[in-house]
Copies of this chain bind each other. A is one copy, B any other.
Amino acid sequence: MSFSKEISFMPEIEQVIQKYLAAWNATDSEQRLESINNILAAECIYADSHMPDLIETSELHSGFIDRFKSKFPELKITLVDHPDIHHGFFRFHWQLTQPNGDIFTKGIFFGETNSENKITKLVGFVDK
């Protein structure tokens, strides 16, 4: 499933989500941090069931993804379906896939955006 040709027709929040997943898939740490800085509000909170603490800065957020990517460089995260968006809240189903297309894990992110369409909250739950 590819949304790359449709990006100009997407709701702005969906474009932001696509850019966030592209930041996960980036191979360069500096590029990732630059993207994360543009996508997230400065006060963005990230909560993940695998982590004891919340992540509350872009630097820590980008560094967390760096560490994930160093462990699993072959995995790619993609949207499973179009995000659902209402009242500045969103949810989307994601999957992490191996190069051969096998699903490594999948789950859902709930989130919030501010009036500038920057992400202010991301809360992840794993389904598999």
Contacts and interface: CB of A to CB of B under 8 A. Distances in A.
Interface in A80-117: 84, 86-87, 89, 91, 108, 110
A41 interface: no
Nearest to A85: B49
Interface residues of A, number: 13
The listed residue with most B CB atoms (<10 A of its CB), out of A47, A84, A110, is: A110
The listed residue with most B CB atoms (<10 A of its CB), out of A48, A49, A54, A125, is: A125
Give the dominant DSSP class at A's interface: strand
A59 to B, nearest CB: 20
A3 to B, nearest CB: 20
A65 interface: no
Contacts of A89: 47, 110, 123
Contact of A47 (B47, B49, B87, B123): B87
A22 B100 CA distance: 46
A91 B125 CA distance: 8
A126 to B, nearest CB: 8
Contacts of A47: 86-87, 89
Interface of A: 47-49, 54, 84, 86-87, 89, 91, 108, 110, 123, 125
